[in-house]
Amino acid sequence: MARAIAKRDRWLALGLLLAVLALAYLVLVHPWWTSPMLETNERIAALRERDLRMRTQLRQAPQIERLLGEAIAQQAQRPGFLPEPTVELATAGLVQRLEAVVKEASPGNRSCAISNQSPLSLPGRDALTRVTVQVRLRCGTPELASVLHQLESGSPRLFIDNFNVLAQRYAYMAAVEGGAGGLDISFDLYGFLKPSGVAATGEGAGASPSGTAAPAPGDERAP
């Protein structure tokens, strides 16, 4: 009986010793040694990962610089942004471009003429500065096709939106009213100002359907 009691006391003493050791570890060792060591190991792992990323980027820097130079050189040969620095000058440039194209398609405005052209201010919905001119033409079908083609294939890159054929009239009055005839067309002609520090890109013009977001200057869609 005494031996059983002594054995139980030994196990109880061992359990108390383990409890005291665990409490001492939690109070003295873990917060003052284990936890700081774990945080230090995490910081070391993060720094090693960051160092690996930086070394990888440094190794890729010459290749990236070469590709960037090639892209800039290629884009410089395809001017897409409007060359004017301000919205007012760019609007005037759009109007001059339109007048030149119409005159080329119909010398003397015999079968194609601009009946209205006015700047249009739109709320900023694009990342780039958009310059828009509302246009209304009275043209014959061949002349209209020529105007759209010239705008599409010209430089800087221009876009056509909200394209509408309002009426088919004046065809028989072309000679009487000084030339304009065929179709009554309205559309928005627009381009984008070149952002500071960005090389000019794109070429020609495109058309986006009415109500859709404006394509970027690099988009290759046609009217």
Distance CA 155, CA 201 (A): 10
Structural domain range at position 107: 87-207
Q: Is residue 221 part of a domain?
A: no
- Based on the domain organization, do 202 and 92 belong to the same domain? yes
pLDDT 10s digits, 80-109: 788 888 888 988 988 999 999 998 888 877
Q: What is the per-residue pLDDT for 214?
A: 41
- Residue 178, sorted as left (phi over 0), alpha (psi -120 to 50) or beta, turns out to be left
Q: What is the per-residue pLDDT for 171?
A: 45
Mean pLDDT (whole number) for 189-218: 52
**Which of 52, 77, 102 is a domain's end point?**
77
Q: What are phi and psi of 10, to 5 degrees?
A: -65, -45
pLDDT at residue 204 is higher than 70: no
Which letter does DSSP use for residue 82 in this model? B
- Please say whether the beta carbons of 208 and 202 come within 8 A: no
Q: Is residue 222 part of a domain?
A: no
- Based on the domain organization, do 106 and 195 belong to the same domain? yes
| pTM of the predicted model as reported, rounded to 2 decimal places | 0.50
Q: What are phi and psi of 189, to 5 degrees?
A: -105, 125
Q: Is residue 8 part of a domain?
A: yes
Q: Count of domains in the chain?
A: 2
- Based on the domain organization, do 60 and 104 belong to the same domain? no
pLDDT 10s digits, 172-189: 444 444 445 578 888 988
- Based on the domain organization, do 1 and 105 belong to the same domain? no
Among 85, 95, 98, residue whose Cα is nearest residue 147 = 98
- Based on the domain organization, do 63 and 93 belong to the same domain? no
Sequence letter at residue 167: A
- Based on the domain organization, do 155 and 105 belong to the same domain? yes
What is the chain's mean pLDDT, rounded? 76
